[in-house]
Amino acid sequence: MKSNFNDLSKRAKELRELLNQANHSYYVLDSPNMEDAIYDQLYRELINIEYNNPSLITSDSPSQRLGGKASKGFQSITHNIPLLSLDNAFNLQELKAWHERTTKLISQEIKYQLNSHKLELTCELKIDGNAIALTYEKGILTKAATRGDGKEGDNITSNVRTISTIPLSLGLKNPPPILEIRGEAFMPNKTFERINIHRKNIGEMLFANPRNACAGTLRQLDPKIVASRNLDFFAYSIHIPEDWELLNLNLKKPIAQSDALKFLKDIGFKVNPNSQLKSNLEDANSFYKYWEIKKNNLPYATDGIVVKVDSFTIQNLLGSTNKAPRWAIAVKYPAEEKPTKLKRLVFQIGRTGAVTPVAEFEPVLLAGTSVNRATLHNAKRLNTLNLHSEDTIIVRKAGEIIPEVINVIAELRVSNATLVQLPKNCPECNSELIQEANEAVTKCVNKNCPAILKGLLLHWVSKASMNIDGLGEKIISQLINKGYVKSISDLYKLEINSISSLERFGNKSANNLLFELQESIKQPWQKQLYGLGIPLVGEANAKSLAKAFNSIEDLSEIISKSPKVVTNIYGIGNEITDSIIHWFSDPQNILLIKELKAIGFSLGKTSNSNEKESEDNINKSYPLEGKVIVLTGSLNSMTRNEAKQIIEDAGGKVTSSISKNTDYLIAGENSGSKLQKAHVLGITIINEKDLQLLL
């Protein structure tokens, strides 16, 4: 019996290798090496073996691409290496400025001598998709995550396994313990068109563009839906451990971006075939100009090129800012512009009362999607455009995403056209609109305006605040129109009879909504603070304020007595402080705080949340406060994540790259280029014992 099991195990391994090789040849190399009938026969044999012997199922088996059960939600993953975004240039002059800054930094500050004074550049197409971080452990795909905020993303491993061009195992003899791959998931144009035709036929809303369709697909909770949409993937970067020794004789460990692209292809990834190594800026400019003309012939969407310093040594020396690497830049193509006819101008009222003019015009195709409206932002922009009824206007998509009106063709204006002006009264509540001195924004100041209330409620229930999925825009509009809700706190006074009377609601969905509302009371302090909708207080500022103040009462007291304390918090400043002062001066907001507290909201740190600090933590010192620290090499007494947590608990900040702003480099065993750069920049280098002494 044992012998039979061993034979099955050996056969299953052989089938996996054959089928994975066939998948790679078909999807990645576009060169099938096996007849479909033979593939199907071998695949059925593998499925049969795995069905009768579940212990033989491995994570790199082709059967695992089918997707498992639908997920209930996405967990958050911390990126081992931050997934930074790129700085943008919008023309070749800005690319030239980046190139000059980069070469100057290399020669003058880093004092690295360029060979023959040339900086080699790898030019790649900027694929219009979604960045994905892949983690391979001992050569097996174990994690896949979205970019998220660059530090944390959503765990979409089950969905990514369905993408045929992403290998489940790597073609390496001795894969390192951890290998990080970055790339772009995207939806090919033909797939996008096919899916939209199907959605139109069954009466579903069409996807706006391939990028949005890809993003929506990756966010599906059911991997089988993801598998049915045939997403594709291009790998573009690899992070290899410095101390890893490559044993494959036919492979060479990459020392430059151009090497890395070839290496990625050799170990099983699909790599965009249009990248080129350029020896100077002029050749990079030519690459940009060529693809500006040819990009519409590609089977996928691209909105620019990416220019990278080719040498890894120079990349490491240049390092990164908090947001983007200094050694790369995305050069966007100009937005497509088209003329159309203005139909009308409508005026929207937001949660702060700000009036936003919105132009509605005859539909026009831009960047692959039909567009028929665009915001004009404020009265100043409206006056600048000098819009008249039935004007012919020029529209485009800013950044290939947001529609905007950029100009008016006055020569085509009809003789009896009337000037379009901002109304004097609110279109929702008829209150007089006010434009305060030195402000471009015109506002409705009626606190009872239904449009302001709607905006506040939508902000409160959003994912970043209370995350109440059951309350969308249409439901909130019904609640306001029926008079059930006149403030945020009224949401928590709703009864099942009131909710079930709404359109498309029954007892079950009403009970689900009531449950969501009660669960939202448990949201942490920073989300509650953000949800209050204090003007200018975004998510990041709400987190900073929630960290600095234990409760809404503490914030209120300090803002009234010592506003400079708030102003001095990183990222706040005078303007936001003034906005917070103004918010607390409104009696309706004070009443809202009392009502939310009565409902059960903490509006502060609680003992049941991770944000609650113990007495020891409150009184402890922060020996590394304000210090910027980089880790390199292997640590003996702790993992990298443990070291990072210890440093952050002591007030320090851990970054991934060396710069002149770095205070300490903690160097473990087998330290590489970061250690070299620290010596060049004169950074203090310490070991694990030194770190303990600092603490």
CATH number at residue 546: 1.10.150.20
- 489 and 511 fall within a common domain: yes
How many domains in the chain?
6
What tens digit of pLDDT does each residue of 239-255 get? 998 888 888 878 889 99
Domain boundary, last residue among 385, 400, 435 = 435
Helix 210-218 vs helix 189-201: angle between axes, to the nearest 10 degrees? 80
CATH code (residue 284): 3.30.470.30
Would you call 555 helix, strand, or coil by DSSP?
helix
* E runs forming strands in 32-139: 76-78, 88-89, 121-127, 130-137
Q: Quick check: is 247 in a domain?
A: yes
Cα-based distances in Å from 308 to 97, 305, 515, 659, 677? 14, 10, 50, 18, 19
- The single residue listed with the structure tokens 């443990």 is 642
Tokens of 541: 């500022």
What spatial distance separates the first Cα and last Cα of the chain, rounded to whole Å? 59
Q: Quick check: is 611 in a domain?
A: no
Amino acid, res. 659: S
Q: How many distinct helices (H) and strands (E) make up the chain?
A: 25, 22
- 222 and 183 fall within a common domain: yes
The more confidently predicted of residues 36 and 469 is 469
Domain boundary, last residue among 566, 599, 632 = 599
Per DSSP, the residues of 614-657 read: PHHHHH---TTTT-EEEEESB-SSS-HHHHHHHHHHTT-EEESS
154 has which bridge partners?
76
pLDDT at 679 over 90: no
What tens digit of pLDDT does each residue of 314-333 get? 999 898 877 789 999 999 88
- 553 and 574 fall within a common domain: yes
- Residue 60's pLDDT band, with cuts at 50, 70 and 90, is confident
Q: Considering only CA atoms, which of 357, 231, 264, 225 is closest in space to residue 254?
A: 264
Q: Quick check: is 440 in a domain?
A: no
Gap between the Cα atoms of 267 and 183, Å rounded: 15
What tens digit of pLDDT does each residue of 111-150 get? 667 665 578 999 999 998 999 999 999 999 999 999 887 8
Amino acid, res. 505: F
CATH code (residue 413): 2.40.50.140
Q: Considering only CA atoms, which of 647, 604, 603 is closest in space to residue 627?
A: 647
Residue 49: CB atoms within 10 A of its CB come to 18
276 has which bridge partners?
123
- 514 and 550 fall within a common domain: no
522: left (phi > 0), else alpha (psi -120 to 50), else beta?
alpha
Q: Quick check: is 74 in a domain?
A: no
* Pairing mode of beta strands 664-667, 628-632: parallel
Tokens of 186: 């995207």
pLDDT at 36 over 70: no
The more confidently predicted of residues 157 and 625 is 157
Tokens of 44: 């059925």
- The single residue listed with the structure tokens 């770095």 is 662
- Residue 1's pLDDT band, with cuts at 50, 70 and 90, is low
- 98 and 171 fall within a common domain: yes
Gap between the Cα atoms of 615 and 474, Å rounded: 46
- 203 and 258 fall within a common domain: yes
Would you give the DSSP letter of residue 489? G
Q: Quick check: is 629 in a domain?
A: yes
Mean pLDDT, rounded, for 408-419: 89
Strand order in the sheet with 402-408: 369-375, 355-366, 337-349, 392-398, 402-408
CATH code (residue 47): 1.10.287.610
Mean pLDDT, rounded, for 652-670: 78
What tens digit of pLDDT does each residue of 542-589 get? 888 998 899 999 999 999 988 888 888 866 878 889 999 999 999 999
- Residue 610's pLDDT band, with cuts at 50, 70 and 90, is very low
Residue 582: CB atoms within 10 A of its CB come to 12
375 has which bridge partners?
358
pTM of the model: 0.53
Angle ∠(664,328,286) on CA atoms, nearest 5: 160
- 327 and 371 fall within a common domain: no
* Pairing mode of beta strands 337-349, 328-332: unpaired
Q: Which pLDDT belongs to residue 16? A: 83
- 59 and 99 fall within a common domain: no
CA dihedral (605, 607, 613, 618) in degrees, to 10, reads: 90
Gap between the Cα atoms of 50 and 60, Å rounded: 13
Q: Quick check: is 77 in a domain?
A: no
Q: Quick check: is 387 in a domain?
A: yes
Quick one: which H or E segment has residue 666?
A: strand 664-667
- 95 and 231 fall within a common domain: yes
- 503 and 540 fall within a common domain: no
Quick one: which H or E segment has residue 309?
A: strand 302-309
What tens digit of pLDDT does each residue of 77-90 get? 888 888 888 888 88
* Of the candidate ranges 181-185, 315-319, 621-625, 629-633, the one whose mean pLDDT is the lowest: 621-625
Q: Considering only CA atoms, which of 226, 229, 254, 232 is closest in space to residue 241?
A: 254
- Enumerate residues 6+ apart whose C-beta is below 8 A from 568: none
Amino acid, res. 158: S
Q: Which pLDDT belongs to residue 400? A: 54
- Residue 55's pLDDT band, with cuts at 50, 70 and 90, is confident
- 251 and 108 fall within a common domain: yes
Gap between the Cα atoms of 694 and 687, Å rounded: 11
- 408 and 458 fall within a common domain: no
Active site members:
126
Would you call 308 helix, strand, or coil by DSSP?
strand
Gap between the Cα atoms of 431 and 689, Å rounded: 68
Q: Which pLDDT belongs to residue 27? A: 56
Gap between the Cα atoms of 506 and 129, Å rounded: 39
Q: Which pLDDT belongs to residue 616? A: 40
CATH code (residue 682): 3.40.50.10190
The whole domain housing 402 covers 337-435
Q: Quick check: is 690 in a domain?
A: yes
Domain boundary, last residue among 332, 359, 379 = 332
Amino acid, res. 653: K
Mean predicted lDDT score pLDDT of the chain: 84
